[in-house]
């Protein structure tokens, strides 16, 4: 007769205090980034209330009178509010639609290179634009697009001042952004592809799979979680269009498409010293970004079975 097997004893979970005493070195290391995050990320949130006050530096934040939604209403009633909002959304959405797939395609192509020296050379060339400052990029664009001696006009045989064309601003902004950041964006995808088991490629080759089939059935499924994560992160910054490039490329003749919320915040909050209005607009942008982040994460969880937030 078989002896009865005793049921396994449930594992008792250690209390937080016990875990902290046992691993105090790790918690000390964790303390540094936590403190920095609280000081530099959560601490400044105290100033958000400026958006709801008639701020007076002499009276301080708490001493300034409370005005509620006054500055939000002023922003919504601004004569160019609709134009700024739609220009900001269009620049972000079009930039995401055109720019997001490029690093993925480039990483898939680079992953197929078998000559390591050539692969490293190509990676160096496409990474380089990321390290060029926005100021220099805008200077290069002004030279290339100049109506007198600009490279684009010399090739096309024209004398068009593209930076004064409102219809050309979005194309210039988005294309230059793709050129500058697409190569840098391949790093995280190449790192993901390098972790794929080579045995999968060998088995696929033995079964007669073509290069395209290996990309379709091995590379892309392995990249999918990272693609969704990057999409969520990109969608959470839809309203955060880069101020520097838009401001440096803006002219009086292209304001119809280059006038964005970030420039309005600079003009009102910094130039005109209306700190309350600038804070209110920034808080509005943050609220929109949080809503978009939650929506995209919900969609990714429902259809992609991937959830990060």
pLDDT tens digits, residue range 245-263? 999 999 888 889 999 998 9
Whole-Å CA distances, 43 to 18, 35, 40, 268: 30, 10, 6, 24
Query: To the nearest 10°, the Cα dihedral for 136, 182, 236, 92?
Result: 60
In contact, 180 and 137? CB cutoff 8 Å: yes
Reported pTM: 0.82
Q: What angle do helix axes 81-99 and 166-194 make, rounded to 10 degrees?
A: 40
Give residues with Cβ within 8 angstroms of 167, minimum separation 6: 257
Q: Which residues pair with 97 in a beta bridge?
A: none
First-to-last alpha carbon distance for the chain, in angstroms, is 54
What is the widest separation between alpha-carbon atoms in the chain?
Answer: 100
Torsion sign (Cα): 51, 53, 56, 62: negative
pLDDT given for residue 130 in this prediction: 92
| CB atoms closer than 10 angstroms to residue 84 | 20
- Segments of the chain with pLDDT less than 70: 1-12, 303-309
pLDDT at residue 147 in the model = 87
The count of other CB atoms within 10 Å of the CB of residue 277 is 24
* CATH T-level fold of 74-198+210-303: MetI-like fold (1.10.3720)
Question: Cα–Cα distances in Å, from 1 out to 4, 7, 8, 307?
Answer: 9, 18, 21, 51
Structure-block tokens of residue 44: 């400044």
Which residues fall within 8 angstroms of residue 48, CB to CB, at 6 or more apart?
279, 283
- Token pair, residue 23, equals 């691993």
The rounded Cα 294 to chain-centroid distance in angstroms is 15
Helix (H) or strand (E) holding 264: helix 261-265
């Amino acid at each position: 007769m078989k002896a009865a097997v005793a049921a396994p004893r449930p594992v008792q979970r250690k209390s937080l205090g016990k875990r902290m005493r046992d691993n105090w070195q790790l918690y000390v290391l964790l303390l540094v980034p936590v403190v920095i995050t609280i000081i530099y990320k959560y601490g400044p949130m105290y100033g958000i209330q400026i958006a709801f006050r008639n701020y007076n530096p002499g009276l301080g934040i708490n001493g300034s009178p409370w005005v509620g939604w006054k500055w939000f209403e002023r922003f919504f009633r601004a004569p160019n509010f609709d134009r700024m909002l739609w220009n900001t959304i269009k620049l972000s959405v079009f930039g995401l639609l055109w720019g997001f797939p490029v690093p993925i395609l480039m990483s898939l192509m680079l992953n197929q290179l078998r000559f390591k020296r050539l692969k490293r050379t190509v990676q160096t060339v496409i990474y380089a634009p990321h390290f060029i400052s926005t100021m220099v990029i805008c200077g290069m664009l002004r030279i290339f697009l100049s109506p007198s001696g600009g490279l684009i006009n010399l090739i096309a045989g024209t004398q068009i001042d593209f930076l004064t064309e409102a219809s050309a601003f979005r194309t210039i902004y988005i294309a230059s952004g793709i050129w500058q950041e697409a190569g840098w964006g391949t790093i995280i995808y190449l790192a993901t592809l390098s972790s794929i088991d080579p045995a999968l490629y060998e088995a696929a080759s033995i079964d007669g799979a073509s290069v395209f089939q290996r990309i379709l059935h091995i590379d892309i499924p392995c990249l999918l979680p990272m693609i969704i994560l990057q999409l969520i992160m990109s969608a959470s910054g839809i309203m955060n269009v880069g101020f520097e490039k838009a401001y440096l490329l803006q002219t009086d003749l292209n304001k119809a498409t280059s006038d964005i919320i970030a420039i309005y915040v600079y003009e009102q909050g910094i130039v005109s010293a209306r700190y309350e209005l600038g804070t209110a607009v920034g808080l509005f942008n943050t609220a929109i970004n949080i809503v978009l982040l939650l929506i995209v994460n919900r969609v990714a969880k429902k259809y992609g079975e991937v959830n990060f937030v």
